[in-house]
Amino acid sequence: MHPHTHHPFWIAIHLPLLRLEVFVKPWFDAEELAASVVLSQGRVVAMSALAHQAGVCTGMRTGGVQMLLPDVRCFQRDVQKEYAALNAVATALLQYSPQVSLADDDSILIDISASLSLFGGLRTLRKRIQGTLQTLGFSATTSIAPVARAAWLLAREAARKKRAGKHALHLKKLSRRLDRLPVGLLATAPPLLDLLQGIACYSFRDLRQLPRPGLQRRCGKAILHELDQAYGEQSELHQWHVASPEFKARIELPDRIEQADALLLYARSLLAQLLGWLASQQLAVTHIHMELFHERGRQAIPPTLFDLQLAQACWQESHLLSLFRERLTQLKLDAAVISMMLEVKQTIQRQAQTYALFPEPGGKAEDHQRLLELLLARLGDENVLQSAPQADHRPEVANNWISIMKKRPAFERDNSRTALRPDWLLPQALALEIRQHRPYYRSELTIISAAERIEAGWWHEQVQARDYFMATDASQVRYWIYRERATDPDADEPVWFLHGIFG
């Protein structure tokens, strides 16, 4: 069934293991994760699956955990890391909707009503969001509903039951699903649980069947207000997440990384945040700066720095990822990396995409620019060149090349000249054999043009006195050859050279 896009739809993302996953990422196998717990004031507030299987539960003291698991890894809860992680996730999710809001209990809400057509429907959009969360290194449950509070409740219930999450697209189905939820799932319910269970009120249905005036006197207005919001009978206010005006993101690596290509996994996490930031600002990036940090303290080593200069502004994930992959594959590390930082140095306003009725032959200009950027990442700025001709009669001087990243100087072509010259000159002119009084290269060369006489360079003491000709061989390949002007009138044969090849 395809929902109508004019109806509101919310996707709720709950991160049940955020407190643990700010320290240990779920990119690895369970065996590599080992048993880990997060402690706050000496009690367990989060645990890995292996710790749970061993009998560890929330609220257990450190001593009890160590009795069950002598080799347990203990982390002290870090609220600042959790807040920074939630903001990083929210920034990354801005690529799917500008309306992203942080919610209670390590959750995020996204209004996707206007995003469904753009991303190909609910199923595709949900899959992409889950892929982004996996790239960021967080386990998540997701639920979709026409009401934000209801989606939030369903996502948390899915985490409680160890399920991926469900969606209820219509209010009738949503009401039936909400009726079955345990009353303790409401954010306002925990202080009232003993009272509610004492009057046999266990589910949302039970709570709604109680007389409202009496329930309000005994429990207050807040729980009724939250219940009405869940069923879509009360409006909600949301504070939208606003991305920073400048982009700088850092990630701490779980281990020392020795090989540069192994850093791509973590670079993708930074890239996901960058994509959300670019989408929220409607920007395209032209210059990215990356720093790879090594040892700290007494054995501190300066960070490894590299930049990605883009020939054309970009905001597409596939293209940026390919550039990162090429650069990291070519990078040689002097020491192990312990953290990474990505910073945007230069952006431009994103241009709206245009669709031509008749596409350009040979591909679009954007495809050409992406090829150049891929070559830059693979070969380096100094090895990808563009022509920058200079105003000089001497071919060696006029045929100048500079890096593709440099701005080509202004050059006015002399339209009065009719002589053709090849774009490809040999680095050094090649002396030709003379057979039967004619120049020879692979076969006998036949001259097919009048002479172009060049006499120049006397002011630099590099005098050239040459007659240039176009010539063809037996395979009809065209060459640019020249004959040195005879300075010795008694010379038997003129000296011929191959200087260029026509395309």
Query: Residue 495 and residue 487: Cα distance in Å, rounded?
Result: 11
Query: Residue 112 and residue 99: Cα distance in Å, rounded?
Result: 8
Query: Residue 384 and residue 382: Cα distance in Å, rounded?
Result: 6
Question: What are the DSSP calls for 94-111, one per residue?
Answer: TTT-S-EEEETTTEEEEE
Tens digits of per-residue pLDDT, 33-59? 578 999 999 999 999 888 988 899 999
Tens digits of per-residue pLDDT, 465-500? 888 899 998 888 899 889 887 555 555 667 889 888
- Angstrom CA distances, 349 to 218, 285, 422, 493, stand at 56, 9, 39, 64
Which residues of the chain have a pLDDT value below 70? 1-6, 27-33, 351-370, 373, 377-378, 381-382, 387, 389-394, 396-400, 405, 408-419, 456-463, 486-493, 503
491: exposed, middle or buried (Cβ count in 10 Å: 0-12, 13-18, 19+): exposed
Both structure tokens of 53:
């299987």
- Cα-Cα-Cα-Cα torsion 283, 285, 287, 288, nearest 10 degrees, comes to 100
Q: In terms of Cα–Cα distance, which of 184, 174, 177, 188 is closest to 232?
A: 174
CA atoms within 13 A on the CB side of 109: 26
Tens digits of per-residue pLDDT, 415-461? 445 457 787 788 888 888 888 888 889 888 988 888 888 876 555 55
Question: What are the DSSP calls for 434-493, one per residue?
Answer: EETTEEEESEE-EE-S--EEEEE-GGGT--EEEEEEEEE-TT--EEEEEEEPPS-TT-SS
At 363 the pLDDT is 55
At 479 the pLDDT is 92
Tens digits of per-residue pLDDT, 89-115? 999 999 999 999 999 999 999 999 888
Give the chain's mean pLDDT.
Answer: 84
Amino acid symbol at 154? L
Instruction: Quote the Cα angle for 169-171-174, to 5°.
Output: 75
**Structural domains of the chain, ranges and CATH numbers in brackets:** 10-22+78-230 (3.30.70.270), 248-355+362-378 (3.30.1490.100), 422-501 (no CATH)
